[in-house]
Amino acid sequence: MNKRILLSAAIFTGLATGAYAGAVAYVAPAAPVLTEETATMGGGFGTWMIPLIALALIMLAASGSAPSTPPTPSDARIKRDIKSVGMAENGLPLYEFRYLFGRRKYIGVMAQDVLGHTPEAVVRSPFGYYKVNYGMLGLEMQTVH
C-alpha cells in the first residue's frame, strides 16, 4: 500500500511541477497583488502549495513504512565460510559468514531464507544478486570481532 501512495505522490508532484519546467528563473514580484482572477483561479497561493503538499504526502508515506535502511547484499552466492549460528526472534536462521572478497566476519541472514519469510524485504541488485532490508526484519547485521 505504501508503494502505491509513494508512486501516486511522485506522479502528482511531477504533474504539478511540470508546468513550471520551462521557466529558467523565478523573479519575485515587488509585492503580492490579489486580483479577481488570481482569487478565483487559485493563482499565487495554490501554485506553490501543490508541490509542498505532494512532498508532505511522500514523506508521510515513507515515515509510515518500516525503518528506512539501505538494503544490504545478503545473497548466499556472494558469501563464503557460511556457518549456522542460531535463530533470530522473528524465526529466520542466522549465519556467520564472510563476503567472497572480504576478510571480516559477519552475522546475518541469507536473502534466500528471507524470500520465504518476508519477501518484501528483499530486492534484486542490477547484477542479479539479492539484497535485504534488515530494518524491515527488525534486525541488524553484526560484525564479528
Residues 83-115 pLDDT 10s: 999 999 999 999 999 999 999 999 999 999 999
Same-domain status, 20 and 41: yes
Same-domain status, 97 and 136: yes
| pLDDT computed for residue 29 by the predictor | 55
**Considering 44, 63, 82, which residue would you say is the last residue of a domain?**
63
**Considering 63, 83, 111, which residue would you say is the last residue of a domain?**
63
C-alpha cell at 141: 547485521
Same-domain status, 28 and 91: no
C-beta of residue 136 within 8 angstroms of C-beta of residue 67:
yes
Beta strand segments in 19-104, E = 72-73, 79-87, 93-99
- Give the structural domain span for 105: 72-144
**Considering 46, 63, 80, which residue would you say is the last residue of a domain?**
63
- Pick from 63, 65, 60, 71: which is nearest to 139 by CA? 71
Same-domain status, 131 and 83: yes
- pTM summary value: 0.54
Number of CB atoms found within 10 A of residue 45's CB: 11
Same-domain status, 85 and 55: no
**Based on the structure, what is the number of domains in the chain?**
2
- Give SS3 for 112: helix
